[in-house]
Amino acid sequence: MRYATPKTAAEAASLLMEDAARVLAGGTDLLVQMKSGRLAPETIVDIKHLPGLRDITREDGGFRIGAAVSGAEMGEHTDLVAAWPGVVEGVNLIGSTQVQGRATMAGNLCNGSPAADGVPAQIAAGAVARLEGPEGTRDVPVAEIPTGPGKTSLKRGEFVTSIFLPARPERSGDAYLRFIPRTEMDIAVAGAAVNLVLGADGTVAEARVALGAVAPTAMEVPEAGAALTGSKLEDPAIEAMVDAVRAACKPIDDKRGTVEFRTHVAGVLAKRAARIAFARAGGQA
């Protein structure tokens, strides 16, 4: 086994071309998986020393979040929290204070867990990941990165260098909620993120709804967003949204939640998250 701290993206990409090479960001998934024997990397590529990877920068009115920025650092960034409270609250739900000191939003995405708390709100936000690889740089919507439990669409040698959250129009808001059996430190049984932009008349002009833990990957439900558009979250719009959410659920059945329970709860969470996002956008029912 080897531990490498590349200083350029090209060097990192070439290290990642080696057999059984693995990116190390916060290590809160990777080290657990190494300990359990699920992963036995030959080369550990620590990306935290690459230039810019620890920065949150303003770009085109939005935010570019380096792949080595921790959850705690995101939570301390006042402007980011004001613009994307739902994205930040999703990331801040990950683990304990200790885990927050290390865990990254990009690591949460690339680990590929269907229940990853940081992912649904990124999808609802229309976030775009910037990848670096042997063939150079490419931008890919976050929604297209996870392809199944533990699987991503990243090609060999590729890694995420940053995630871009777009500029916020006026009157916009987002929110993420999850259900867990405890109040802290548990894996989501279901999660829902809602991102809304209101028009000048206070009705929903744009809506995106994304779910976690109810399918092999986190996913957007376009029908659910469409159900909210044009409304002020009146009951019929909410009911149509909840129906669309439940229709999209294809959860697993396990001791932590049955199919029926996960499907039901996803609808409840989406409804509550929509109300929070609406209030954050300045909406009045």
Ligand X SMILES: Cc1cc2nc3c(=O)[nH]c(=O)nc-3n(C[C@H](O)[C@H](O)[C@H](O)COP(=O)(O)OP(=O)(O)OC[C@H]3O[C@@H](n4cnc5c(N)ncnc54)[C@H](O)[C@@H]3O)c2cc1C
Which residues in this chain contact ligand X in the complex, by CB under 6 A? Answer: 22-30, 32, 47, 67, 93-95, 99, 102-104, 106-108, 110-111, 116-118, 154, 159-160, 185
Applying the rule CB under 8 A, the residues between 242 and 281 that interact with another protein are: none
Applying the rule CB under 8 A, the residues between 32 and 91 that interact with another protein are: 32, 34-36, 44, 46, 48, 70, 72
Question: ∠ at Cα 107 (216, 223), nearest 5°?
Answer: 40
Choosing among ligand X, another protein, none, which partner's interface includes residue 120 (Cβ < 5 to 8 Å by kind)? none
> Closest approach of Cβ 47 to another protein, in Å?
12
At 27, the amino acid letter reads G
DSSP, res 225: H
Compute the residue count for the chain: 285
Helix (H) or strand (E) holding 226: helix 222-228
Residue 216's Cβ-count burial label (10 Å; 0-12, 13-18, 19+) is: middle
> Closest approach of Cβ 172 to ligand X, in Å?
24
20 binds another protein (CB under 8 A): no
> Closest approach of Cβ 18 to ligand X, in Å?
13
CB 229 within 8 A of CB 255: no
Applying the rule CB under 8 A, the residues between 174 and 193 that interact with another protein are: 183-185
Residue 234's Cβ-count burial label (10 Å; 0-12, 13-18, 19+) is: exposed
DSSP, res 61: T
> Closest approach of Cβ 21 to another protein, in Å?
13
Q: Which residues bind another protein (CB under 8 A)?
A: 1-3, 5, 24, 26-28, 31-32, 34-36, 44, 46, 48, 70, 72, 95-99, 101-102, 183-185
